[in-house]
Amino acid sequence: MWSFFARDPIKDFNYEILPENQEKSGIWTLSRGKRKTTGEPVSVFMYEVSQGTEEQTQLAKAAFKRTKTLRHPNILSYVDGLETEKSLYIVTEPVTTLAAHLKLQAEKGGASDLEVSWGLHQIVKALSFLVNDCHLNHNNLGMWAVFVDRAGEWKLGGLDHVTSDQGDSTSLPPPKVISPDLERYDPPESPGNGGDKWTGDVWRLGCLIWEVFNGSLPRASSLRSLGKIPKQLVPHYCELVGANPKIRPNPARFLLNCRPPGGFMNNSFVESCLFLEEIQIKEPAEKQQFFQDLSENLDSFPEVFCKHKVLPQLLTAFEFGNAGAVVLTPLFKVGKYLSAEEYQQKIIPVIVKMFSSTDRAMRIRLLQQMEQFIQYLNEAAVNSQIFPHVVHGFTDTNPAIREQTVKSMLLLAPKLNETNLNQELMRHFARLQARDDQGPIRCNTTVCLGKIAPYLNAGLRQRVLISAFSRATKDPFPASRAAGVLGFAATHQYYSVAESANRILPTLCTLTVDPDKNVRDQAFKAIKSFLSKLETVSEDPSKLAEIEKDVTASAQTGGSAATWAGWAVTGVSSLTSKLIRNAPAGSETPPAENSPVPQPAAGPVPTNTASKGVQQDRSYVSCQRLHPSSEAVKKQSSDWSSGWDADDSWSNEKDADGQASTEAPKSGRLSSAQEGVRLASDYKWDGAEGKSATSDLLSSVSQRNCAGDWGTEENWESLDGDQGLSKAELAKKKREERRKELEAKRAERKAAKGPLKLGARKLD
């Protein structure tokens, strides 16, 4: 019964001590541990009373008291503790000894000066706190008293010998009594013989600096040899280990001496760390500037510091500090250091929340950098939490967001479900291709559709592709017509022989007299390819099944996305600039289907194109204003003779030197209305509030709601075939008919009234 009341308190200890990787730290044994309830990692310092002397037990109890009461960011953090008659346990944040940390860094190539400068800065700051604020002397500073946490930050420990500079009621034995090897770290003068209260601690600080750069100190005389100590630190190091104790600086003074421009502790890493320590009291403008500059410096920062110090601050700044889009770039940069599981836990919830933001700058940066996190998104999150927010970009009044939303579909398409991909996305693509007033966006929509064709439903694919690419061939923007031709060629395996002969070839043949030379060239190549396939079947009908094997093939899974999507998403690069910046002004005219002689690509452009029922694409006209020396695109990067691969047959249009081939334009002066229009790819996004960007965009952008079914006028099939006019021509025709009707009615009324008499009043 009495044994129940005499229960061992260690069994009720809330922490489990792991037996592996135990190491000695003075009189303590340092072990890894974890909290029993949550599994949170900790470090446990253990001291067994039975294995130590009376003096050591006295020091252990003193350290237990000091660790529990001293709180400072640069002093080892106390979490919990247990003191019994048999043992003492001090639970702290998870740390390792400085000697073990430097040994591990040496295996990786050695610790950088940036990391050491910040580590020493932290230890000196902790020592200054003890000496100047607490009026305490450490008396035990050395490699064995410094620990490193998960973020790579150095923490001061080893508080066994801490005493008050005003005198203690109980005297503690000096370190050399417990461990004779520590005598070589004692200052040369005798205790209390001259100098200030900190002279002994700063001498040991000099010994610590020597060992950090040169390894274990063999004897006190070795301090005269500088070894690998950096030149910027040498003069200040010499002050620490000077024979005259009166010239040894106060720890706070030593920090100031190392902080001037060019000093050892004056660098981007130390400045960033100091800012992060005080980020809660910084002004919003200062935080914005800091996060903007942080991305450039992250590459030189230690990996563990980025993961455990920078990342939590970034997440906090977004969650509670309203940092906005400016945290995205450093956030994704740090995310590269995380494992897949860590990324799912820390980054993905933030990304999902960011997609619901109404900040335009936030949305466009997310779309531009989607390639960095798309592999971590599961299909359920994409379809239920991300895609519903992304589709709003298709109807945004900002052309840059519409353009980037279209391009993002290259990465999202493999993860979309049947409804979102084959119904919702196709509905938006149909509206963009028919109604968007930006020619480059209509072109990008056609390109994107061709790229995601393998993921479309087999029953829908052939019908949608033929209708969409046929519509593109009638677009007034030349690059869109070229994209339509290339789209047919790149997806040739999805069309039956009958469809190729009855619908595709007649459409392509009309482009052989297109005003644009590039469109005509691509049309001839595509026609030859389709004719070759028809001839093959004609000569050997048994090959029909093999040629049409992909027509009814089921949609591909998301696993093959990496084989085709990489070309389009390259940081902030824009397809628009590649497709439109190299065409002559005024070239956005409808293809002259009945013209017997093709017009040269760079020839004079007539000024009465509007009278023919076609309005020039405003973004393309603006592009000509911004780039007056641009010329027509002459060459496609794809090799048509080698095959029709959808991965590379219609992407970038460049010549052999990597630049777009051009000719000098011959265009007249642009109207003032046209000069006020900017190109979607020309907008600069600097992290400012997205809502103010609207003032820099088009003065008026038509927005219409797209019908939800395929039987309305938005159906891609409604413009398929050779018959029918474009929308502009139909509108002009209706206006002309209405004008003639009104003139006829006026003439009838005038004839019925007869001639007017002198002085009579005209009633109409």
**What does each C-alpha distance from 581 to 15, 56, 629, 682 come to in angstroms?**
66, 79, 10, 11
Residue 143 sits in a domain whose CATH number is 1.10.510.10
Which contacts (CB < 8 Å, 24+ apart) does range 35-40 have?
none
The average pLDDT across 114-118 equals: 92
Predicted confidence (pLDDT) per residue in 403-440, tens digit: 999 999 999 999 999 899 999 999 999 999 988 889 99
The pLDDT confidence band at residue 712, using thresholds 50, 70 and 90, is very low
Name which residue leads in pLDDT, 188 or 412. 412
Whether residue 529 contacts residue 640, with contact meaning beta carbons closer than 8 Å, is answered with yes
The pLDDT of residue 369 is above 50: yes
Q: Please indicate, yes or no, whether residues 182 and 35 belong to a single structural domain of this protein.
A: no
What pLDDT shows up at residue 123? 95
The pLDDT of residue 672 is above 80: no
- 41, 60, 94 — which closes off a domain? 94
The average pLDDT across 244-263 equals: 90
What pLDDT shows up at residue 575? 43
Q: In angstroms, rounded to a whole number, what is the distance separating the alpha carbons of residues 312 and 613?
A: 58
Q: Is the alpha carbon torsion for 457, 366, 563, 439 positive or negative? A: positive
What pLDDT shows up at residue 194? 64
Residue 260: CA count within 13 A, CB half-sphere: 6
Nearest to 431 by CA among 131, 710, 142, 217: 710
What pLDDT shows up at residue 96? 93
DSSP code for 75: B
Whether residue 465 contacts residue 453, with contact meaning beta carbons closer than 8 Å, is answered with yes
Q: In angstroms, rounded to a whole number, what is the distance separating the alpha carbons of residues 724 and 199?
A: 95
Q: Please indicate, yes or no, whether residues 124 and 232 belong to a single structural domain of this protein.
A: yes
What pLDDT shows up at residue 662? 32
The pLDDT confidence band at residue 552, using thresholds 50, 70 and 90, is confident
Q: Please indicate, yes or no, whether residues 61 and 193 belong to a single structural domain of this protein.
A: no
- 269, 298, 332 — which closes off a domain? 269
Question: What pTM was computed for the model?
Answer: 0.65
Q: In angstroms, rounded to a whole number, what is the distance separating the alpha carbons of residues 738 and 135?
A: 97
| Dihedral angle computed from the Cα positions of residues 366, 372, 373 and 376, in that order, rounded to the nearest 10 degrees | 170
The pLDDT of residue 751 is above 50: yes
Whether residue 183 contacts residue 335, with contact meaning beta carbons closer than 8 Å, is answered with no
Q: Please indicate, yes or no, whether residues 79 and 110 belong to a single structural domain of this protein.
A: no
Residue 446 lies in a domain: no
The pLDDT confidence band at residue 727, using thresholds 50, 70 and 90, is low
Which contacts (CB < 8 Å, 24+ apart) does range 542-550 have?
544/497, 547/497, 548/496, 548/497, 550/493, 550/494
Q: Is 18 helix (H, G, I), strand (E, B) or coil?
A: coil
The average pLDDT across 735-749 equals: 84
Task: Quote the domain boundaries for residue 50.
Answer: 9-94
On average, the pLDDT of the chain sits at 75
Bridge partners for 164 per DSSP: 136
Q: Are strands 136-137 and 163-164 parallel, antiparallel or unpaired?
A: antiparallel
Kindly state the percentage of the chain with pLDDT values over 70.
73
Q: In angstroms, rounded to a whole number, what is the distance separating the alpha carbons of residues 213 and 232?
A: 13
- The set of residues, in sequence order, having a beta carbon less than 8 Å from that of 748 and lying 6+ positions away, is none
What pLDDT shows up at residue 567? 31
Q: In angstroms, rounded to a whole number, what is the distance separating the alpha carbons of residues 332 and 346?
A: 11
Q: In angstroms, rounded to a whole number, what is the distance separating the alpha carbons of residues 623 and 633?
A: 14
Q: In angstroms, rounded to a whole number, what is the distance separating the alpha carbons of residues 481 and 467?
A: 13
- DSSP string for residues in 282-306: S-HHHHHHHHHHHHHHGGGS-HHHI
Q: Please indicate, yes or no, whether residues 250 and 120 belong to a single structural domain of this protein.
A: yes
Nearest to 622 by CA among 437, 367, 404: 437
Residue 533 lies in a domain: no
Q: Please indicate, yes or no, whether residues 105 and 75 belong to a single structural domain of this protein.
A: no
Whether residue 446 contacts residue 484, with contact meaning beta carbons closer than 8 Å, is answered with yes
The pLDDT confidence band at residue 359, using thresholds 50, 70 and 90, is confident
Q: Please indicate, yes or no, whether residues 139 and 214 belong to a single structural domain of this protein.
A: yes
What pLDDT shows up at residue 524? 95
Q: Where are the alpha helices (DSSP H) in 29-145?
A: 54-69, 98-107, 113-128
Q: Please indicate, yes or no, whether residues 153 and 74 belong to a single structural domain of this protein.
A: no
b (16+ CB within 10 A) / e for 575-585: bbbbbbbbbbb
Q: How many domains does the chain have?
A: 2
């346990």: which residue's tokens?
89
Predicted confidence (pLDDT) per residue in 563-594, tens digit: 333 333 333 334 444 443 433 334 454 444 43
Whether residue 35 contacts residue 42, with contact meaning beta carbons closer than 8 Å, is answered with yes
Residue 237 lies in a domain: yes
Q: Please indicate, yes or no, whether residues 179 and 216 belong to a single structural domain of this protein.
A: yes
Q: Which amino acid is at 82?
A: L
Nearest to 13 by CA among 71, 68, 79: 79
Residue 81 lies in a domain: yes
Residue 44 sits in a domain whose CATH number is 3.30.200.20
Q: In angstroms, rounded to a whole number, what is the distance separating the alpha carbons of residues 455 and 355?
A: 24
Residue 642 lies in a domain: no
Q: Which of 4-13, 339-348, 615-624 has the highest mean pLDDT?
A: 339-348
- 94, 111, 146 — which closes off a domain? 94
b (16+ CB within 10 A) / e for 448-466: bbbbbbbbbeeebbbbbbb
The pLDDT of residue 273 is above 60: yes
The pLDDT of residue 694 is above 80: no
Whether residue 91 contacts residue 43, with contact meaning beta carbons closer than 8 Å, is answered with yes
- The set of residues, in sequence order, having a beta carbon less than 8 Å from that of 167 and lying 6+ positions away, is none
Residue 230 lies in a domain: yes
Q: Please indicate, yes or no, whether residues 31 and 138 belong to a single structural domain of this protein.
A: no
Residue 677 lies in a domain: no
Q: Is the alpha carbon torsion for 484, 489, 494, 497 positive or negative? A: positive
The average pLDDT across 101-105 equals: 91
What pLDDT shows up at residue 738? 85
Predicted confidence (pLDDT) per residue in 6-53, tens digit: 456 677 788 888 887 788 888 899 999 999 888 899 999 999 888 888
Q: ∠ at Cα 358 (357, 362), nearest 5°?
A: 65
Q: In angstroms, rounded to a whole number, what is the distance separating the alpha carbons of residues 337 and 347?
A: 12
Bridge partners for 20 per DSSP: none
Residue 704 lies in a domain: no
Phi, psi of 488 (to 5 degrees): -60, -45
Q: Please indicate, yes or no, whether residues 218 and 247 belong to a single structural domain of this protein.
A: yes
Q: Please indicate, yes or no, whether residues 108 and 223 belong to a single structural domain of this protein.
A: yes
